[in-house]
Chains A and B, each alone.
Chain A
Amino acid sequence: MNVAQTPKPAISWPALLVGLGLTLPLLGILLSGLFHDPHDLGNPLEDETAPRFTLPRLDGQGTLSLEQLRGKPTIINFWATWCQSCPLEHPVLEQAAREFGDQVQFVGIAYEDKSERLSAWLQRANRGRPSAYPTLIDVGGKVAVAYGVYGVPETYFVDAQGTVKHKKTGPFLPSADPTADGRLELRRILGEML
Chain B
Amino acid sequence: MNSALGQGLILLSLATATVGCILGFAAGRSGSAAGLRWTRWLAGTYATSLILANLVMEYALLTHDFTVKYVDMVGSTSSPTYITIVSLWSSLEGSILFWGMILAIYIWGFLATTRQGHERMTPYTLATVLAVGTFFSFLIAGPADPFSAVQPRPDSMHTGPNPLLQNHWLMIIHPPALYLGYVGMTIPFGMGVSALLRGELGASWMALTRSWMLVPFGFLTAGVVLGGWWAYEVLGWGGYWAWDPVENASFLPWLTAAAFLHAAMLEERRGLLKAWTVVLLLVTFALTILGTFMTRSGVFNSVHSFTQSAIGPTFLVFLAVILVISVLLVGLRMHLLSDEGSLGSPLSRDAAFIVNNLLFAGFTFVVLVGTVFPLLAEAVRDIKLSVGAPFFNQLSVPIGLTIVFLMGVGPALPWGRTSGKEAASLLWVPLTTSLILGALALALGMRQLWPVVTLIVSLFAALVALRDMVTPVSALMRRRGLPPLAAASLAFRRGRRRYGGQIVHIGVALVVVSIAVSSSYQVIEEGMVPKGQSLTIADYELRFEESRSFREPHRDVLEAQFTVLQNGREVGSLGPRLNRYSGQMNPIGTPAVLSTARQDLYLSLMSVAKDGQAAGLRAFINPMVSWLWVGATVMVLGVLIAAWPRRRQKPATKAAA
Chain A contact residues, CB within 8 Å of chain B: 1-4, 7-16, 19-20, 23, 26-27, 29-34, 36-39, 41-42
Contact = CB atoms under 8 A, between A and B. Distances in A.
A38 B300 contact: yes
Contacts of A20: 324, 327
Contacts of A2: 200-202, 336, 340
Given A2-B200, A3-B199, A32-B378, A19 B320 contact: no
B333 interface: yes
Interface size class of B (residues with CB under 8 A): 35 or more
A26 B252 CA distance: 14
B277 to A, nearest CB: 13
A153 to B, nearest CB: 15
B335 A27 contact: no
Contacts of A12: 330-332, 334-335
B328 interface: yes
> Among A2, A16, A42, which residue has the most Cβ atoms of chain B within 10 A?
A2
Given A3-B199, A29-B372, A34 B299 contact: yes
B565 interface: no
B375 A19 contact: no
Contact of B331 (A8, A13, A31, A34): A13
B279 to A, nearest CB: 8
B327 A1 contact: no
A29 B379 contact: yes
A148 B312 CA distance: 30
B273 to A, nearest CB: 14
Chain B contact residues, majority secondary structure: helix
Contacts of A11: 331-332, 334
Contacts of B301: 38-39
Given A8-B335, A29-B379, A34 B201 contact: no
B313 interface: yes
A40 to B, nearest CB: 8
Contacts, number: 99
B199 A4 contact: yes
Contact of A30 (B200, B202, B298, B299): B299
B293 to A, nearest CB: 7
A46 B559 CA distance: 44
Nearest to A35: B379
A30 B334 contact: no
Interface in B423-476: none
Given A15-B275, A19-B326, A36 B375 contact: yes
B335 A42 contact: no
A69 to B, nearest CB: 30
> Among A4, A8, A20, A29, which residue has the most Cβ atoms of chain B within 10 A?
A29
> Among B327, B330, B376, B384, which residue has the most Cβ atoms of chain A within 10 A?
B327
A9 B329 CA distance: 11
A30 B372 contact: yes
List of 9 A-B pairs having minimum Cβ-Cβ separation, nearest first:
A12-B334, A19-B327, A38-B301, A32-B379, A33-B299, A16-B331, A7-B199, A23-B323, A33-B375
A30 B316 contact: yes
B331 A4 contact: no
Contacts of A42: 383-384
B265 to A, nearest CB: 18
A4 B320 CA distance: 29
Nearest to B301: A38
B221 interface: no
Contacts of B275: 15
Given A27-B316, A29-B379, A16 B328 contact: yes
B625 interface: no
Nearest to A17: B331
21 contacts: A1-B340, A3-B200, A3-B202, A7-B333, A11-B332, A12-B334, A12-B335, A15-B275, A19-B330, A26-B323, A30-B293, A30-B372, A32-B376, A33-B299, A33-B378, A34-B313, A37-B298, A37-B308, A38-B305, A39-B301, A41-B384
